[in-house]
Amino acid sequence: MSDNQLRLVWVYPDLLSTYGDQGNALVVERRARQRGLDVARLDVRSDQPIPTSGDIYLIGGGEDRPQRLAAERLRRDGHLYQAVQNGAIVFSVCAGYQILGHEFINDLGQREPGLGLLDVVSVRGEGERCVGDVLADIDPQLGLPQLTGFENHQGVTHVGPNARPFARVQIGKGNGTGDGTEGAYNGTVFGTYMHGPVLARNPLIADLLLKLALDVNALPPIDDRWYEALRGERIAAAQQPA
């Protein structure tokens, strides 16, 4: 952060916002403003260059062809990689999560190179599609409460040794590998399969992104009653027998 302004970048809303993940940008922006922060939010379409001066970059989910187009343009642009080298925070969901890895399977059935910002590789699952509510325990190192979200993906993502699983599932499939992992992170780069939007269901993840951007250990408290009501409702629904 510089000039006392938080710079929030929503990446490719024209390609990667299929499942309402733009709500993540709204949540981060609102929680920052509730704490008196000056926020500059930039929605960058796929025909525009990615700025390298952002503090937090958010990437959503998308269908197979838009995912391939997004990956091609992000590789060609190169600026998201440079932003991470500059210390930026990236939070990605589903297709965006796969794009941050080394490779994934595109809509043509081919191996598509990712950005290599996370040590993960995604392949096409051969079993049933992973669909439904998820409850998971976030890596204790992050100091966050239980993760709630909704998954809808065919991909299977393997986490390599240079990344950590973001969470361990209690209910749901997560990365789809059968090892109980969900998502991945390394340093300031995060990926998850969770929709919901995930930051509305898990506002303390949004606060973690803000703390990393501000380089602080704590934020002023705000009224979380609405978020907690939503969390309680969705956690209860996930725990209901099928």
Q: What is the DSSP string of 52-115?
A: S--SEEEE----HHHHHHHHHHHHHH-HHHHHHHTT-EEEEETHHHHHHSSEEE-TTSSEEE--
Q: Which residues of the chain have pLDDT under 50?
A: none
pLDDT score at 2: 53
pLDDT score at 241: 79
What confidence tens digit (pLDDT) does each residue in 105-145 have? 999 999 999 999 999 999 999 888 999 999 999 999 999 99
Three-state DSSP class for residue 8? strand
**Residue 158: active-site member:** no
Strand 167-171: give its sheet, edge to edge: 147-153, 130-138, 167-171, 181-182
Give the annotated binding-site residues for substrate: 129
State the catalytic residue, choosing from 79, 94, 102, 130. Answer: 94
Place of tokens 């789809």: 176
Place of tokens 């027998």: 241
Give the annotated binding-site residues: 129
**Residue 94: active-site member:** yes
- What is the spatial distance between Cα 31 and Cα 210, in angstroms, rounded to a whole number? 9
Residue whose C-alpha is closest to residue 90's, from 192, 197, 193: 192
pTM: 0.96
- What would the two tokens of residue 7 be? 């710079």
State the catalytic residue, choosing from 79, 102, 153, 195. Answer: 195
| Angle, alpha carbons 55-121-210 (nearest 5°) | 20
